[in-house]
Copies of this chain bind each other. A is one copy, B any other.
Amino acid sequence: MVSGRSIESGSGPIRYGMVGGGQGAFIGAVHRIAARIDGEFELVAGAFSSEPARAKASGRELGIADDRNYGTFAEMAKAEAKRPDGIEAVAIVTPNHMHYPAAKAFLEAGIHVICDKPLTSTLADAKKLAAVAKKSGCVFVLTHNYTGYPMIRQAREMVAKGQLGAIRLVQAEYPQDWLTEAAEKAGSKQAEWRVDPKRSGAGGSTGDIGTHAYNLARFVSGLELDSLAADLSAFGAGRVLDDNANIMLRFKEANGVAARGMIWASQVAPGNENGLKLRIYGTKGGLEWVQADPNYLWYTPFGQPKQLLTRGGAGSMPVAARVTRVPPGHPEGYLEGFANIYTEAARAIRAARKKGGKPPKDVVYPTIDDGVEGVAFVEACVKSSKKNAAWTKL
């Protein structure tokens, strides 16, 4: 059994800044929460929007000091590099086309980069950026976040240790449904830039989610792709980028077998929210994993019953345990449920700063009366049981 572990950085958090992720953006908030969970990072600077006014307003909301709340990333890279207390790392969470110039600026300023995927909008930019990164000596982390799931780490280790034998088949899929109708014409900012080749690059569903499926397939299988045959479609009226991708894969030989595979990525499959799924089959066994239920990994050693491996449960490996915070059976959302109680508490405490202040009515948390009720329940259980399960009032 795993006992919940995390770093909670004794040596002090790492100072970091953010490019993009201002008001109305989704992924910026996700990065900031991810940076806080283990107490490893402290957000101290930012250029939160390509519009300077919006950038500043966003920074103020996030409690950034005025002198580190920048209008542009270029200015930020320059200024932070000079400060003795400057940021050690930057998180880049802009639309795809800005990844290249922003990352380049910070790498050249000697600042480590954590960058959203896909890396850039074009392969040419990607290669140039890789060269800059290597020359800089900086750490460069791409947030293909699905590789962070404990059971994905475990799956990778099982493949690497040969538990599946030589890999023959890699089936990955990532269906969604949010572009089934024309969300880009209905006011969704995210839909607007996702279907726009200027901001997204050449790939629509391929760039947004196909890359996740492909990255995960490579990460777990350890295989290298030889070639692919892709049939991309744009079903939405007026769309130029693909909103559905059917792809066949041929991998390079490994352990004497050249594996085959398929990727299906779609944004027009009603009933699928984020249906990322990976299945890998070898000469000795198979693995299946579904992102919506990430704590489970199905493992079938050929000829034996299928096993349900759980995060931290029987059969889990050290590579999974080292990125696990709560015991098996508690889904990872457990911590977020827990955090909700804390955040409701914060609301109540802030309200209580004013004498007699009450939080808004929708703030809900278990009170001391619930506690009394709970203890009364235990005592009634014990009393009833001692009297041969007689009915007992609370």
Contacts and interface: CB of A to CB of B under 8 A. Distances in A.
B261 A346 contact: no
A146 B374 CA distance: 14
A194 interface: no
Nearest to A39: B36
Q: Which of A150, A219, A329 has the most CB of B within 10 A?
A: A329
Interface string A267-308: 011111111000101111111100111110011111111111
A37 B38 contact: no
Given A153-B364, A228-B392, A260-B233, A34 B148 contact: no
Nearest to A346: B40
Interface in A19-50: 24, 26-27, 29-41
B392 A345 contact: no
A34 B14 CA distance: 20
A77 interface: no
A87 to B, nearest CB: 11
B262 A269 contact: no
B377 A341 contact: no
A98 interface: no
Interface in A92-134: 112, 114-115, 117-123, 125-127, 129-130, 133-134
A273 B328 contact: yes
A319 B381 CA distance: 33
Contacts of A365: 141-142, 147
Nearest to A343: B38
Q: How large is the interface on A (under 10, 10 to 19, 20 to 34, 35 or more residues)?
A: 35 or more
A232 B386 CA distance: 8
Contacts of A293: 293, 331
Contact of A377 (B8, B210, B330, B394): B210
A287 B299 CA distance: 19
Given A305-B314, A367-B142, A26 B327 contact: yes
A382 B10 contact: no
A163 B170 CA distance: 33
Contacts of A226: 393-394
A362 B322 contact: yes
Contacts of A283: 180-181
A35 to B, nearest CB: 5
A229 to B, nearest CB: 5
B379 A123 contact: yes
Given A286-B177, A352-B138, A120 B371 contact: yes
Contacts of A319: 362
Contacts of A4: 26-27, 29-30, 33
* 8 closest Cβ pairs, A-B complex: A273-B329, A332-B333, A119-B371, A271-B300, A274-B329, A148-B340, A203-B378, A37-B339
30 contacts: A3-B24, A7-B343, A14-B346, A30-B325, A31-B342, A41-B346, A112-B345, A115-B371, A125-B375, A137-B356, A141-B345, A142-B365, A143-B366, A168-B268, A169-B269, A211-B377, A215-B370, A215-B374, A228-B377, A228-B380, A229-B390, A229-B392, A231-B248, A244-B260, A266-B281, A270-B282, A271-B285, A271-B300, A273-B329, A332-B336
Given A145-B338, A148-B344, 18 more contacts: A37-B339, A37-B342, A142-B371, A181-B283, A202-B378, A203-B382, A206-B377, A207-B378, A211-B374, A215-B370, A230-B382, A230-B385, A273-B310, A275-B329, A294-B333, A306-B308, A319-B362, A332-B337
